[in-house]
Amino acid sequence: MAGEDVPENAPAAIMEEKNGVEEENGVTVAGEGETKPYIKGKRRNEQEAQVKAGKQKGQLPKKRFYRARAHSNPLSDCQFSVPTMPSEFDWSESFPEFFSQEETTEGKDLKVRFADIGCGFGGLIVQMSPLFPKSLMVGMELRDKVSEYVKERIIALREQHPGQYENISVLRTNAMKYLPNYFEKGQLQKMFFLFPDPHFKEKNHRRRIISTALLAEYAYIMAVGGILYTITDVQELGEWMKTTLDAHPLFQPLTDEELEKDVCVPLLTTATEEGQKVERNGGSTYKAIYRRIAGPGYSGA
Ligand X SMILES: C[S@@+](CC[C@H](N)C(=O)[O-])C[C@H]1O[C@@H](n2cnc3c(N)ncnc32)[C@H](O)[C@@H]1O
- Nearest CA among 186, 61, 199, 239 for reference residue 118: 199
SS3 30: strand
CA within 13 Å, CB half, 80: 27
CA-to-CA separations, 242 to 58, 229, 253, 271, 287, in angstroms, rounded:
42, 11, 9, 22, 8
Residue 201 near another protein by CB under 8 A = no
Residue 273 is labelled as binding a ligand: yes
> Among 113-121, 217-225, 242-250, 282-290, which window interacts with ligand X (CB under 6 A)?
113-121
**Under a CB-based contact definition with an 8 Å cutoff, are residues 25 and 93 in contact?**
yes
Nearer to another protein, 133 or 225 (CB): 225
**Under a CB-based contact definition with an 8 Å cutoff, are residues 242 and 287 in contact?**
no
Nearer to ligand X, 150 or 156 (CB): 150
DSSP 8-class letter at 206: G
What are residue 112's phi and psi, to 5 degrees?
Answer: -65, 130
Residue 129 near ligand X by CB under 6 A = no
Nearer to ligand X, 55 or 211 (CB): 211
Residue 285 is labelled as binding a ligand: no
Residue 143 near ligand X by CB under 6 A = yes
CB of 246 to another protein, least distance (A): 13
Question: What is the rounded distance in angstroms from the CA atom of residue 150 to the CA atom of residue 147?
Answer: 5
Q: Which of residues 154-213 bind ligand X (CB under 6 A)?
A: 174-176, 194-197, 209
Residue 301 is labelled as binding a ligand: no
Burial of 167 (0-12, 13-18, 19+ CB in 10 A): buried
With CB under 8 A, what is the number of residues at the site for another protein? Answer: 27
CA-to-CA separations, 135 to 48, 64, 95, in angstroms, rounded:
34, 31, 11
Q: Which of residues 64-103 bind another protein (CB under 8 A)?
A: 74-75, 84-86
Active site residue 197: yes
85 binds, among ligand X, another protein, none (CB under 5 to 8 A by kind): another protein
Question: What is the rounded distance in angstroms from the CA atom of residue 180 to the CA atom of residue 218?
Answer: 9
Residue 175 is labelled as binding a ligand: yes
SS3 237: helix
143 binds, among ligand X, another protein, none (CB under 5 to 8 A by kind): ligand X
CB of 256 to ligand X, least distance (A): 24
Binding footprint of ligand X on the chain (CB under 6 A): 1, 72, 74, 118-120, 123, 140-143, 146, 174-176, 194-197, 209, 272-275
Residues comprising the binding site for S-adenosyl-L-methionine? 118, 141-142, 174-175, 194, 272-274
